[in-house]
Amino acid sequence: MNNGEYCRKRAPRIIRGAFFCVLALVLPPAWADCVVGPADELVTLERAHDGDTLLLEDGRSVRLIGVNAPEMPRNGKPGEPLALEATDFTERFLDGGDVELVYDRDRRDRYGRVLAHVYNHRGESLESALLSSGLAFHIAIAPNLALAECLATREERARLAGRGIWAPGTWPVVQAADIQPGDGGFVLLRGRVEEVDRNRYLWLELDGPVALRLDADRDYGQTVRRDWQGREIEVKGWLVDRGTKYLSRFPQNKRWLIAVDSEFTIRISRN
């Protein structure tokens, strides 16, 4: 069955379902790539909690490795841009057969969810499809980095094409200098490096109250400390507020932190 036949046979129930079919017609058939190995487990999907989290028939929750999709509305908070489209896309992509799980190094997150690379019954990568469609951000959290480079290329293609979250005006870009109490969660953040420090990590202190914590052993493209000074940075990750108590103990440090485990989640200006 080609992509056009799939869309004709699965007519969208509501308007957001059309998003899947349009993408299936315009995107290249590259969803079978980004493979780390054979399936470790075959499971049955109950439903998609959101674009990057699955609920299985056996009661387990699965969190996709390597992607972060927009959050659905919950607990009185509005949904993020394209959250409904990402959730619907995931359910349709996995429809029609067993779901394949492939594990990386860590198999559980701190919430007890299964961590896995996910493929549909045709062997196509859900992570690759979401990123290629512009319905998720690529994230990289150590030690589950086996597919980081491959997934980063899929995101870059969507970004260059202006698809989904990369369409102008769709997803907010936060400036480091504008962070204030109450801010946190997943962000696409930009700032300028003002100070660089090194201990067991490499620390980039940005303009404003934010520091980036990098793995000192990874190659981010900058070889010495002075290479970072004054650079414009764009980073994807979770903004963590270490709080006023932390700041009172370590007033020389920045209050907010983003951990950057991979060179594929940070962009550095070259001027």
C-alpha span between 258 and 150 (Å, rounded): 23
C-alpha span between 47 and 61 (Å, rounded): 10
User: Which residues are designated catalytic?
Assistant: 63, 71, 113
The answer to whether residues 139 and 66 touch, using CB atoms and an 8 Å cutoff, is yes
Structure tokens at 84: 């409904």
User: What sign does the dihedral 189-193-194-195 (CA atoms) show?
Assistant: positive
For the chain, which residues make up each domain, given as ranges? Answer: 3-166, 174-268
Q: What is the pLDDT along the chain (271 residues), one digit of tens a residue?
A: 333 333 323 333 333 445 545 454 444 455 557 998 899 999 999 999 999 999 999 999 999 999 999 999 988 889 999 999 999 999 999 999 999 999 999 999 999 999 999 999 999 999 999 999 999 999 999 999 999 999 999 999 999 999 999 999 999 999 999 999 999 999 999 999 999 999 999 999 999 999 999 998 888 875 555 578 899 999 999 999 999 999 999 999 999 999 999 999 999 886 5
pLDDT at 15 (0 to 100): 37
pLDDT at 271 (0 to 100): 58
**For the chain, what's the residue count?**
271
Query: What DSSP character marks residue 178?
Result: G
* Overall pTM surpassing 0.95 (yes/no): no
C-alpha span between 242 and 44 (Å, rounded): 39
Q: Quick one: which of 67, 66, 71 has its CA closest to 83?
A: 71
Q: What is the CATH number of domain 174-268?
A: 2.40.50.140
User: 3-166 and 174-268 share one CATH topology?
Assistant: yes
3-166 fold: OB fold (Dihydrolipoamide Acetyltransferase, E2P) (2.40.50)
